[in-house]
């Protein structure tokens, strides 16, 4: 059976000498989407710091970070969901409904500690609804979560109407925007970092995470390899709901206001950040580090533009344009690469 | 028939094509003449597909030329190839399932009537005329959905005819066809040849090559080996040229004393698909499921493995009943399934060789629930080496490998789980002779080490050569169970066609 082993194969490339391997490493680094997101992020931060008044100040840094915590939180499970080839567009409405219920429960006189737990559980239950429709009934998540996007937002107005509950205790609302020691970094960032590490470990270092990439590329082959595709997707939707619920708690306390329209349109920012971070909308590709860079990039850009007195509508145009760019650029790059390769071959 | 000195209809002259460091095709030349069917044979990875893709306008040769009627032809895109009159029929046609047969044939070139509306009557009439020329009966108005693969290929051929294709390239068109369907396809190909077209036929089945083609070109490792009239060749000669060595015993099943029963299947039924399938497999035994395409064999093994649901019946492994519908439970019990469709079911084509090779045993490779890249890489390297997979880098997408090497990766990922029962569905479909022999030897050796093997195969020589017992299925039922001594071409074919009691 051993007429030619792997090592005897003439086309197997010889091990590269150190210098060339280092070159290959650099090349590999710079052909990665995440690397470029980090570079662009650095350019935006430095550029804005130099040219936009107040951008680099500690107060703005604190607000910038507080603004993106909710997006960062929701983007974590969203990253995993998009990698499996699904999407959850109901996250902002889940946040809103959780916020509204939080307000009603506070009005009803429940202790806030209990409310927080209940609201996160509610978020998980809302995720269960998405998960059941997607995995048990086999419906496309795009359709299901557009449906629940509308339904959950509608429900939150049923729960709270157009009033706002704003009399949460000071120590709780202050805690939501307090900072670590003398630094401009709010405590809430720490929650996001802890969860981000947890999600990164799950995605990049566990069998479960590996299976997500497999099913995102080819669910059938994943099933044949013993991966429980539907079970994995179900739990991701539950996680997405629970995290959106947590983000709802944070949002309510941070603005000291429970309202039915809290977080309206936030799903756009989350999806834009995830795609900007290099996750393929077709599934099967992306890293959590890239997504975090994407969240920071989107947040910094919006913040800098806001400081520069760019109107809010224009900001949404920018977000939308970034979303489309991050879908289009990988395709264009791929096309350019194969064109270059072809030309090189014809010359050579 | 054209003489050797006539200007060929289509000539491939000294073409070369490399992907990265790997030369897929190096200096290959051959010529197609009008009125002649020409076979292109070679192991998988020999470069046949690359040649087809050049003719299809998908790849451009790095050097060398393609000539038509003696004049150079530049094929920069599939549209160029179509315009030049080159039509390609693939193993699995890609029709629009919700459109009618006629609409599929004329997609993008529909005959227009008044106000540039599609003239349906003219389209139907033309489609009927095309099918008439091909001598087949297909209703132009029926939707493409539900057509057999053979009929879909006929639609593709009709499409080719409708643009007056002069060169018809058929890339392993018969892999999924039954005997009758193959005959009909060949009749059509002969008709086309008689009308002056040239046919390039790519296949691993030598009986077909020898019955259809006037000339055979052999390729090996991207290079041209020989082109000869079929009449001057024997199958042995062709095989030797393809592999560059003698393939001694193609089906070398060792004699093994079977052990205790490992897999016990009782009364398996899925309404409308298969019913009351009962059999058991012992350690060291190879049991073949034979039958015609569509007899329900793949469906049975899929149900055993828990991919498809069951209506009735039980599966026992080592006396323990398997929970139905759970591939993960089947894997834990020691089952492995190498599926029929490598590209869709066996592998995640976009992922790396490493990721594919370890996908089945991530749990086992993890320490306290966490994976370290190193353990995965080591496992992938070990198993790809054991199966002699030829690759550049473990990080390369598995889709860049040749078919035979892809199949080895599928086998690697399942053998790595160290299964008690290995179920293989068409283990050697579409792979080359050399790899085929390796796979057979491997299965035989595994059985020798005490593994129970269930093999679904449509290739009779493989079934007869490898199996200790043959279960023959016909329309969802087991119609015969034959021992190695009882099984021969006749007994199997009788049972497979449902003619009970005639033989066996």
Predicted confidence (pLDDT) at residue A14 exceeds the cutoff of 70: no
* Distance between CA atoms of residues A252 and A160, nearest Å: 13
What pLDDT, on the 0 to 100 scale, is given for residue A21?
63
- Quote the CA–CA distance of A229 and A251 in Å, as a whole number: 33
3-class secondary-structure state, position A133: helix
In a domain, A342, yes or no: no
| A5 to B388: CB separation less than 8 angstroms, yes or no | yes
Residue B133 reports pLDDT greater than 60: yes
- How many angstroms separate the CA of residue B60 from the nearest CA in chain A? 8
Q: What DSSP element (H or E) covers A199? A: helix A187-205
First to last CA, chain A: 38
Q: Which of A314, A320, A326, A301 is nearest to A67 (CA)?
A: A301
Q: Give residue B291's pLDDT.
A: 85
| Mean pLDDT to the nearest integer, B375-390 | 92
Residue A76 CA to residue A203 CA, distance in Å, equals: 10
- B445 pLDDT exceeds 50? yes
Q: List % helix, strand, coil for chain B (3-state, nearest 5).
A: 35, 25, 40
Q: Quick one: closest CA in A to B357, which residue? A: A225
Task: Report yes or no: A347 at the B interface, CB cutoff 8 Å.
Answer: no
CA B150 to chain centre: 14
Q: Provide the number of CB pairs (under 8 Å) joining chain A to chain B.
A: 105
- At residue B82, the pLDDT reads 85
How close B260 comes to chain A (CA, Å)?
26
**Structure tokens given for B128:** 């009927």
Helical pair A288-307 and A187-205, crossing angle rounded to 10 deg: 150
DSSP 3-state assignment of B289?
strand
3-state DSSP of B218-283? EEECCEEEEEEEHHHCCHHHHHHHHHCCCCCCCCCCCCCCCCCEEEEEEEEEECCCEEEEEEEEEC
| Percent of chain A surpassing pLDDT 90 | 74
Give me the domain span that covers residue A205.
54-330
Under 8 Å between Cβ of B454 and B421: yes
CB contacts under 8 A, A 284-323 vs B, are 284
Beta bridge partners of B65: B13
Check pLDDT > 50 for residue B247: no
CA A74 to mean position of chain CA atoms: 6
User: pLDDT tens digits, residue range B217-246?
Assistant: 999 878 899 999 999 998 888 877 877 654
Q: How confident is the model at residue A342 (pLDDT cuts 50, 70, 90)?
A: low
Residues in B touching A337 (Cβ below 8 Å): none
Neighbour-count burial for A97-116, b at 16+ CB within 10 Å, e otherwise = bbbbbbbbbbeeeeebeebb
CATH fold group of domain B261-496: Rossmann fold (3.40.50)
pLDDT for A279-317, tens place per residue? 999 999 999 999 999 999 999 999 999 999 999 888 888
Out of A206, A342, A346, whose CB is closest to B371? Answer: A206
CB contact under 8 A, B384 and A217: no
CB–CB of B327 and A223 under 8 A?
yes
Residue in B326, B350, B384 closest to A284 by CB: B350
In chain B, what residues touch A342 (CB-CB under 8 Å)? 60
**Which of A29-33, A223-227, B357-361, B455-459 is the least confident region?**
A29-33
Name the residue facing B371 among A210, A213, A222 (closest C-beta).
A210
Cβ contacts of B327 within 8 Å, gap of 6 or more = A223, A224, A225, A226, B305, B306, B307, B337
Mean pLDDT of B123-127: 90
Closest chain A C-alpha to B369 CA, distance in angstroms = 6
Nearest to A136, CA basis, from A215, A236, A221, A233 = A233
Does position A60 have pLDDT exceeding 80, yes or no? yes
Does B371 contact A12 at a Cβ distance shorter than 8 Å? no
Which residue's structure tokens are 């009449």? B231
The reply to whether A178 falls in a domain is: yes
pLDDT at B252: 63
Report the pLDDT value the prediction gives residue B304, as an integer from 0 to 100: 97
d(CA B157, CA B154) in angstroms, rounded, equals 5
Dihedral, CA atoms, A292, A297, A302, A306, nearest 10 degrees? 120
- Which residue spans of chain B are classified as CATH 3.40.50.300? 10-95+147-243, 261-496
Identify the pLDDT of residue A344: 67
* Residue A2 located in a structural domain: no
E strands present in A156-269: 164-165, 258-259
- How many Å apart are CA B454 and CA B425, to the nearest integer? 8
CB A220 within 8 A of CB A100: no
3-state secondary structure at position A211: helix
Would A138 be classed as within a structural domain? yes
Mean pLDDT of B402-428: 92
Side by side, the strands of the sheet bearing B10-19 are B22-32, B10-19, B63-68, B71-73
Tokens read off for A284: 């099967």
Task: Quote the pLDDT of residue B44.
Answer: 62
pLDDT of B2 above 80: no
- Report pLDDT for A12: 37
Which among B46, B24, B57, B50 has a CA at the least distance from the CA of B167?
Answer: B57
Residue A226 has its nearest CB partner, among B327, B350, B369, at: B327
Q: What is the pLDDT of residues B135-168, one digit of tens each?
A: 778 899 998 888 877 788 888 888 887 887 899 9
What's the structural domain count of chain A?
Answer: 1
Residue A16's pLDDT band (boundaries 50, 70, 90)?
Answer: very low
Compute CA distances B107 → B138, B155, B160, B162, B170, whole Å: 17, 12, 12, 11, 20
pLDDT band at B215 (very low <50, low <70, confident <90, very high): very high
Distances in Å between the Cα of A95 and the Cα atoms of A74, A82, A111, A248, B156 are 9, 19, 20, 4, 52
pLDDT mean across residues, chain B:
87
User: Contact, B136 vs B105, CB < 8 A?
Assistant: no
Contact residues on chain B for A346, CB-CB shorter than 8 A: 60, 62
Neighbours of B240 (CB within 10 A): 15
Q: Which residues of B touch A214 (CB under 8 A)?
A: 348, 351, 355, 359
pLDDT score recorded for residue B452: 96
What's the pLDDT at A9? Answer: 35
The yes/no answer to whether this complex scores an ipTM above 0.85 is: no
**pLDDT computed for residue B458 by the predictor:** 79
Greatest mean pLDDT range, A102-111, B82-91, B177-186: A102-111
CA distance B151 to chain A (A): 26
Residue A11 pLDDT greater than 70, yes or no? no
DSSP letters, B35-78, are T-EEEEEE-TTSSHHHHHHHHTTSS--SEEEEEETTEEE---SH
The mean pLDDT of B187-208, rounded to a whole number, is: 88
The verdict on a CB contact (< 8 Å) between A210 and B362 is yes
What is the Cα–Cα distance from B404 to B400, expressed in whole angstroms? 12
Averaged pLDDT for residues A170-195: 91
Q: Is B385–A342 a contact, with Cβ atoms under 8 angstroms apart?
A: no
* Residues of B with Cβ-Cβ distance to A220 under 8 angstroms: 344-345
Higher pLDDT, A332 or B201: B201
> How far off is chain A from B446, nearest CA to CA, in Å?
14
Q: What is the pLDDT of residue B177?
A: 72
pLDDT in tens, B334-344: 999 999 888 88
- Measured torsion, CA atoms of residues A58, A62, A64, A67, in degrees rounded to the nearest 10: -170
Whether residues A207 and B385 touch (CB distance < 8 A) is answered with no
What are the pLDDT digits (tens) for B46-64?
Answer: 788 889 999 999 889 999 9
pLDDT on residue A7: 31
pLDDT for res B402: 82
Q: Which residues of B touch A230 (CB under 8 A)?
A: none
pLDDT tier, B489 (very low <50, low <70, confident <90, very high otherwise): confident
HEC profile of B433-455: HHHHHHHHHHHHHHHHCCCEEEE
CA distance linking residue B182 with residue A57, whole number of Å:
76
In a domain, A37, yes or no: no
User: Is A45 an interface residue toward B (CB < 8 Å)?
Assistant: no
CATH code at A85? 1.10.3470
Tens of pLDDT, residues A240-257: 999 999 999 999 999 999
Q: Tell me whether residues B359 and A201 touch, CB distance under 8 A.
A: no
Task: State both tokens at B369.
Answer: 């629930």
Q: Model confidence over B283-303: pLDDT tens digits?
A: 999 999 998 777 889 999 999
pLDDT of residue A345: 59
Q: Tell me which of A201, A221, A223, A339 to substitute to probe the interface with B (most B C-beta atoms closer than 10 Å).
A: A221
Interface test with A, best of B21, B23, B57, B359 (most A CBs within 10 A): B359
Cβ contact (<8 Å) for A220 and B344?
Answer: yes
Q: Burial, B231: exposed, middle or buried (Cβ in 10 Å; 0-12, 13-18, 19+)?
A: exposed
User: What pLDDT score was predicted for residue A346?
Assistant: 58
| Cβ separation B388–A4 shorter than 8 A | yes
Cα(A211)–Cα(A219) distance, integer angstroms: 10
| CB proximity list for A126: less than 8 A, separation 6 or greater | A90, A94, A97, A98, A148, A152, A241, A244, A245
Cα-based distances in Å from B159 to B80, B143, B163, B166, B315: 16, 15, 7, 12, 47
pLDDT higher than threshold 60 for residue A8: no
Asked if A345 lies within 8 A of B345 by C-beta distance, the reply is no
From the candidates A4, A226, A334, A343, which should be mutated to test the interface with B, based on the most B CB atoms within 10 A? A226
Per residue in B26-43, pLDDT (tens digit) is: 999 999 999 999 999 887
pLDDT score, position A315? 87
Q: State whether residue A75 sits within 8 Å of chain B by CB.
A: no
Ramachandran area for residue B80 (φ above 0: left; ψ -120 to 50: alpha; else beta) = alpha
How far is Cα B365 from Cα B371, in angstroms, rounded to an integer? 7
Task: Flag whether pLDDT at B504 surpasses 60.
Answer: no
Q: Residue B503's pLDDT band (boundaries 50, 70, 90)?
A: very low
Out of B21, B370, B389, closest to residue A11 by CB: B21
pLDDT in tens, A83-129: 999 999 999 999 999 999 999 999 999 999 999 999 999 999 999 99
Q: CATH: 3.30.360.10, 3.10.129.10, 3.30.565.10, 3.40.50.300. Which one for B10-95+147-243? A: 3.40.50.300
Q: Lowest-confidence range among A166-170, B130-134, B351-355, B471-475?
A: B130-134
Instruction: Name the residue among A201, A207, A221 with its Cβ closest to that of B347.
Output: A221
From the CA of A4, how many Å to the nearest CA of chain B?
A: 8
Matching residue, tokens 């430095």 = A46
What's the pLDDT score for residue B499? 66
Determine contact: A224 vs chain B, CB below 8 A.
yes
The tens digit of pLDDT for each residue in B263-277 reads: 999 999 999 889 999
Task: Return all residues near B25 (Cβ < 8 A) that are at least 6 apart.
Answer: B15, B16, B17, B47, B50, B51, B54, B61, B222
């Amino acid at each position: 059976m051993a007429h030619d082993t792997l090592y005897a194969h003439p086309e197997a490339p010889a091990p590269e000498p150190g210098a060339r391997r280092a070159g290959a490493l650099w090349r590999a680094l710079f052909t990665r989407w995440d690397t470029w997101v980090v570079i662009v992020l650095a350019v935006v931060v430095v550029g804005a710091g130099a040219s936009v008044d107040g951008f680099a100040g500690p107060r703005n840094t604190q607000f910038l970070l507080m603004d993106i915590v909710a997006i960062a939180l929701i983007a974590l499970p969203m990253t995993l969901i998009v990698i499996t080839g699904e999407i959850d567009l109901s996250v902002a409405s889940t946040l809103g409904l959780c916020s509204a219920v939080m307000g009603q429960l506070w009005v009803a006189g429940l202790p806030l500690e209990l409310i927080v737990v209940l609201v996160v559980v509610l978020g998980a239950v809302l995720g269960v609804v998405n998960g059941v429709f997607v995995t048990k009934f086999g419906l496309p998540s795009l359709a299901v979560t557009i449906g629940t996007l509308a339904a959950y937002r509608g429900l939150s107005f049923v729960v709270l109407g157009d009033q706002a509950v704003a009399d949460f205790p000071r120590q709780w609302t202050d805690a939501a925007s307090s900072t670590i020691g003398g630094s401009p970094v709010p405590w809430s960032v720490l929650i996001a970092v802890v969860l981000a590490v947890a999600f990164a470990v799950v995605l990049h270092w566990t069998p479960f995470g590996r299976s997500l990439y497999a099913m995102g590329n080819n669910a059938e082959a994943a099933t044949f390899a013993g991966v429980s595709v539907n079970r994995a997707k179900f739990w991701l939707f539950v996680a997405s709901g629970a995290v959106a619920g947590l983000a709802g708690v944070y949002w309510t306390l941070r603005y000291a206001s429970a309202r039915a329209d809290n977080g309206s349109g936030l799903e756009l920012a989350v999806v834009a950040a995830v795609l900007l971070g290099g996750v393929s909308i077709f599934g099967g590709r992306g890293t959590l580090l890239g997504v975090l860079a994407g969240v920071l990039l989107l947040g910094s850009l919006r913040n800098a533009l806001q400081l520069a007195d760019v109107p809010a509508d224009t900001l949404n145009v920018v977000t939308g344009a970034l979303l489309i760019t991050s879908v289009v650029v990988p395709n264009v790059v791929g096309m350019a690469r194969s064109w270059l390769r072809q030309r090189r071959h014809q010359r050579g | 028939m054209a003489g050797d000195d006539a200007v060929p209809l289509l000539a491939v002259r000294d073409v070369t094509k490399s992907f990265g460091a790997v030369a897929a095709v190096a200096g290959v030349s051959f010529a197609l003449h009008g009125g002649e069917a020409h076979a292109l044979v070679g192991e998988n990875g020999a470069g046949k597909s690359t040649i087809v893709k050049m003719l299809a306008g998908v790849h451009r040769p790095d050097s060398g030329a393609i000539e038509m009627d003696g004049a150079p032809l530049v094929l920069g895109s599939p549209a160029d190839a179509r315009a030049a009159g080159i039509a390609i029929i693939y193993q699995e046609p890609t029709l629009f399932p919700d459109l009618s047969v006629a609409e599929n044939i004329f997609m993008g070139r529909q005959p227009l009537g008044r106000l540039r509306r599609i003239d349906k009557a003219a389209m139907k009439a033309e489609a009927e005329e095309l099918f008439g020329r091909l001598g087949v009966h297909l209703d132009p108005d029926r939707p493409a959905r539900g057509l057999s693969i053979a009929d879909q290929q006929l639609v593709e051929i009709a499409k080719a005819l409708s643009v007056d294709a002069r060169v018809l390239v058929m890339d392993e068109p018969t892999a999924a066809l039954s005997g009758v369907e193959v005959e009909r396809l060949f009749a059509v190909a002969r008709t086309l040849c008689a009308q002056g077209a040239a046919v390039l036929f790519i296949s691993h089945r030598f009986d077909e090559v020898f019955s259809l083609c006037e000339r055979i070109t052999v390729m090996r490792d991207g290079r041209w080996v020989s082109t000869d009239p079929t009449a001057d060749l024997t199958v042995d000669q062709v095989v030797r040229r393809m592999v560059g060595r003698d393939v001694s015993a193609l089906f070398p099943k060792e004699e093994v004393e079977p052990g205790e029963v490992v897999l016990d299947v009782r009364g398996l039924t899925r309404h409308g698909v298969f019913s009351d399938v009962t059999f058991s497999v012992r350690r060291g035994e190879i049991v073949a499921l034979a039958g015609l395409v569509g007899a329900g064999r793949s469906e049975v093994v899929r149900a055993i493995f828990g991919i498809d649901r069951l209506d009735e019946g039980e599966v026992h492994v080592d006396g323990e009943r398997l929970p139905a519908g759970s591939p993960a439970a089947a894997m834990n019990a020691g089952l492995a399934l190498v599926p029929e469709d490598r590209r869709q079911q066996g592998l995640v084509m976009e992922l790396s060789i490493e990721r594919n090779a370890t996908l089945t045993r991530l749990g086992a490779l993890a320490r306290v629930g966490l994976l370290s890249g190193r353990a995965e890489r080591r496992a992938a390297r070990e198993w790809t080496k054991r199966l002699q997979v030829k690759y550049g880098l473990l990080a390369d997408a598995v889709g860049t490998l040749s078919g035979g090497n892809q199949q080895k990766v599928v086998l690697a990922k399942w053998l790595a789980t160290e299964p008690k029962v290995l179920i293989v569905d068409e283990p050697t479909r579409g792979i080359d002779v050399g790899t085929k022999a390796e796979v057979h030897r491997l299965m035989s050796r595994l059985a020798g080490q005490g593994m129970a093997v269930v093999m679904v195969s449509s290739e009779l020589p493989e079934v007869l050569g490898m199996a200790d017992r043959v279960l023959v299925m016909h329309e969802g039922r087991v119609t015969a169970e034959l021992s190695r001594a009882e099984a021969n071409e006749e007994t199997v074919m009788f049972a497979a066609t449902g003619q009970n009691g005639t033989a066996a």
